[in-house]
Chains A and B, each alone.
Chain A
Amino acid sequence: AQSVSQHNHHVILSEAASLELGCNYSYGGTVNLFWYVQYPGQHLQLLLKYFSGDPLVKGIKGFEAEFIKSKFSFNLRKPSVQWSDTAEYFCAVNARRGNNRLAFGKGNQVVVIP
């Protein structure tokens, strides 16, 4: 079964700083990759996803992620964060020819200080 690792669970940074969250997955086959955001007290919202094509994916709210197949990675980036980016960020993966299971990493809690 596929699994996902996210490092640096707690990230604290100031507004206008750049953000990069690492995500590595473990699975031998072809995968689809996702980043979700969960604002305090709210449900999961899709930031971006990769399923084919250009490995550099642009999502909502100025986020982007790059799929590097050789490194089994799908890191999330934002060049300049805002206070409103304070949230929990989850990387997720599913197997292209699997049972639709979406496996999540443990999340990164990001706090942006004004």
Chain B
Amino acid sequence: DTAVSQTPKYLVTQMGNDKSIKCEQNLGHDTMYWYKQDSKKFLKIMFSYNNKELIINETVPNRFSPKSPDKAHLNLHINSLELGDSAVYFCASSHLDRETFNYGYTFGSGTRLTVV
């Protein structure tokens, strides 16, 4: 049973196309994220949703639009893809124990996007 699942695992597409990456978590977590890992392996947060509400929106081109239909899903839609969008995109979810402030994060297996 995959806790955080992303589809597709690999995505190769041409410049200018529009594509979506889907993410689902079955952990009952209330917060979900999208991270981008560039060619140098640097991980940077893009978006975060808490109970379908956007709470983090980093400096990301507005060609990237997250959509959260419910708290178990956070999809990423990318318009007019550019070469620089090539990266691995990781979805994650988290849960906070409000007594101990113990955060638990779980990451998906990543989507390798290649724009040609």
- Does A96 belong to the interface (CB within 8 Å)? yes
State in angstroms the CA–CA spacing of A88 and B90 once bound together: 15
Q: Collect the chain B residues with CB atoms within 8 Å of residue A97's CB.
A: 101
Q: Collect the chain B residues with CB atoms within 8 Å of residue A34's CB.
A: 105
State in angstroms the CA–CA spacing of A19 and B90 once bound together: 27
Q: How close is A62's CB to chain B, nearest CB, in angstroms?
A: 22
B100 touches A42 (CB 8 A): no
- Does A82 belong to the interface (CB within 8 Å)? no
- Does A112 belong to the interface (CB within 8 Å)? no
A106 touches B55 (CB 8 A): no
Q: How close is A8's CB to chain B, nearest CB, in angstroms?
A: 14
B107 touches A44 (CB 8 A): yes
B interface SS class: strand
B42 touches A107 (CB 8 A): yes
State in angstroms the CA–CA spacing of A13 and B40 once bound together: 21
Q: Collect the chain B residues with CB atoms within 8 Å of residue A52's CB.
A: 100-102
Q: Collect the chain A residues with CB atoms within 8 Å of residue B45's CB.
A: 101-103
Report if A44-B48 is in contact (Cβ < 8 Å); known contacts: A32-B103, A52-B100, A101-B56: no
- Does B31 belong to the interface (CB within 8 Å)? yes
B94 touches A100 (CB 8 A): yes
Report if A106-B41 is in contact (Cβ < 8 Å); known contacts: A43-B90, A99-B56: yes
Q: Collect the chain A residues with CB atoms within 8 Å of residue B79's CB.
A: none
Against B, the Cβ 8 Å flags (1 = close, 0 = not) of A31-46 are 0101010100011111
Interchain residue pairs with CB less than 8 A apart (16): A32-B103, A36-B107, A42-B109, A43-B110, A44-B107, A52-B101, A99-B48, A100-B55, A100-B96, A101-B45, A101-B48, A101-B56, A102-B33, A103-B45, A104-B44, A106-B42
Interface residues of A (CB under 8 A from B): 30, 32, 34, 36, 38, 42-46, 49, 51-52, 88, 90, 94, 96-97, 99-104, 106-107, 109
